[in-house]
Chains A and B, each alone.
Chain A
């Protein structure tokens, strides 16, 4: 749109991330302003699941996590072979939800994301009813193909919007030893390691 930006018209179906079943469809417009400020989004969806169904599933997920006797911890979900331990699947599902918020904020007209892996997760037990998790998630960025590591703090109680706090750093390439580079030097500072300066 001359002097304004680029506007996209989208029609798409949605599916339940955990089961794969169809969950409805949406119509949306996304306007990316020329000024590169945040896009303007209009979206309307038809959900095949009713509110009660969604609430019930949320509660089941919540109860499952609350009934664990020890704080949940995990690494590499899925593992290298694509396996997700059944006990950790709810925690992965929460990570997907939390990461989608990060990806929503980070994506641009030219940069998109998928959640590649939960590198680590640790549950923080709270005195109130909220459940809280500390995650390191890896995001796959296109078209750059980079793997971005994000630290994510997620807090949730069914019926409340999920709270997500995050910080992402490009995992690009730890400076590796013995590849003909000067040790220490600007490299460490550039990639945020050993910041004792």
Chain B
């Protein structure tokens, strides 16, 4: 009845044995009577077997879900979001593909979903969420946007006409190391997780690491600060990957980076008070985008340049993209205005995503109608 997992080899060598419950007492008595020392490695093998079975069931269940059974009204883990992307691509191979644009500091893949009806290097729209890891409503909204595009791309006139001429790129988890850290260690983590000898603390603010007014006031030179700019521009692989992508693509016409919270729609510049040459157009477009957003649930947004509306910020994403010639460069700050802040209740995910999508459509349609 004894099941040897490590068989007897000779004197002085240990033996591992699984003992069925009815034989436990007699085996113990036998060992003790003969002065054979033993220790218990696994109290109850059945428990372990049961756990493993449950784990495998969950893994299978995850692999079996479809985009229509995914819970958009809940916050998900990194693994779940990455699985979702694969499912979306598998279910919509003619519209959606997944690109790996690089790897994070901790070697997590940086994935971008491409929504395209074909063509070669069409003018494109870029949307990113989750660059600051604690801003959970943004990654959750990114997931919702991906599904929305797939659901609406044929029957929604506006979206269909956008996709007739342009591609949409969507990076849902722009800072996966930070995101994993918010789930395992510190829900309030904002930055990347890069470590450098000589730096007292971990991580760089990825929204201060871009090469636009890098190093100016509006970012910190201390590694312990939550607005640490990093040792040099593009030091963070998460940022460099996007820089390389944008430069290699060469045909991005609108770039939208999504944050929370504060309920703001912002455009360049953050590193200087001087308005961009396109200030009037960006201001007017923002006004219309915000009006569309408000029309759904009455959520109030303010809008304007980063410098004037929120605070000076140097090395920020959309200052760089604008200076690369991407005229329609915007940063969103989604719900709320501080009551829950980063800890926005999950039941607000879908309303937030829905209203934000209306604003995004206004911007995308404008980009479609105003080629440059």
Q: Point out residues on A near B: beta carbons under 8 Å.
A: 17, 78-83, 114-117, 138, 140, 142-147, 171-173, 175-176, 178-181, 187
Contacts and interface: CB of A to CB of B under 8 A. Distances in A.
Contact of B227 (A79, A144, A173, A175): A144
B20 interface: no
Given A144-B227, A145-B190, A82 B344 contact: yes
Contacts of B311: 142-143
B199 A144 contact: no
A196 B12 CA distance: 49
B197 A180 contact: yes
A78 B200 contact: no
B196 A81 contact: no
B345 A116 contact: no
B195 A82 contact: no
B196 A180 contact: yes
A80 B187 contact: yes
Contact of A83 (B136, B338, B345): B345
A79 B342 CA distance: 11
Residue from A114, A171, A175, A187 having most chain B Cβ neighbours under 10 A:
A114
24 contacts: A78-B343, A78-B345, A82-B340, A82-B346, A140-B338, A142-B311, A143-B313, A144-B227, A145-B205, A145-B226, A171-B188, A172-B224, A172-B225, A172-B226, A173-B202, A173-B224, A175-B200, A176-B202, A179-B197, A179-B199, A179-B202, A180-B196, A180-B198, A181-B199
Contacts of B344: 82
A76 B341 CA distance: 14
B201 A81 contact: no
Residue from A178, A179, A181 having most chain B Cβ neighbours under 10 A:
A179
Given A81-B75, A180-B197, A180-B198, A140 B310 contact: no
Contact of B200 (A17, A116, A181): A181
A104 B170 CA distance: 40
Contacts, number: 85
B161 interface: no
Given A81-B345, A144-B227, A146-B226, A175 B201 contact: yes
Contact of B338 (A114, A138, A145, A172): A114
A54 to B, nearest CB: 20
A26 B54 CA distance: 58
Given A82-B340, A82-B344, A176-B201, A145 B227 contact: yes
A178 B196 CA distance: 10
Interface in B58-106: 74-75
Nearest to A82: B345
Given A78-B345, A116-B343, A147 B202 contact: no
Contact of B339 (A17, A81, A187): A17
Given A173-B202, A179-B197, 14 more contacts: A78-B340, A80-B182, A81-B346, A82-B344, A116-B188, A144-B227, A145-B205, A145-B227, A173-B201, A175-B200, A175-B201, A179-B202, A180-B195, A187-B200
Contacts of A83: 345-346
B348 interface: yes
Contacts of A179: 195-197, 199, 201-202
Nearest to B197: A180
Contacts of B339: 17
Given A82-B348, A145-B205, A175-B201, A116 B341 contact: yes
Nearest to A116: B341
Contacts of B345: 78, 81-83
B175 to A, nearest CB: 14
A85 to B, nearest CB: 12
Contacts of B136: 80
A116 B136 CA distance: 14
Nearest to A179: B195
Contacts of A176: 201-202
Contacts of B225: 144, 146, 172
Contacts of A171: 188
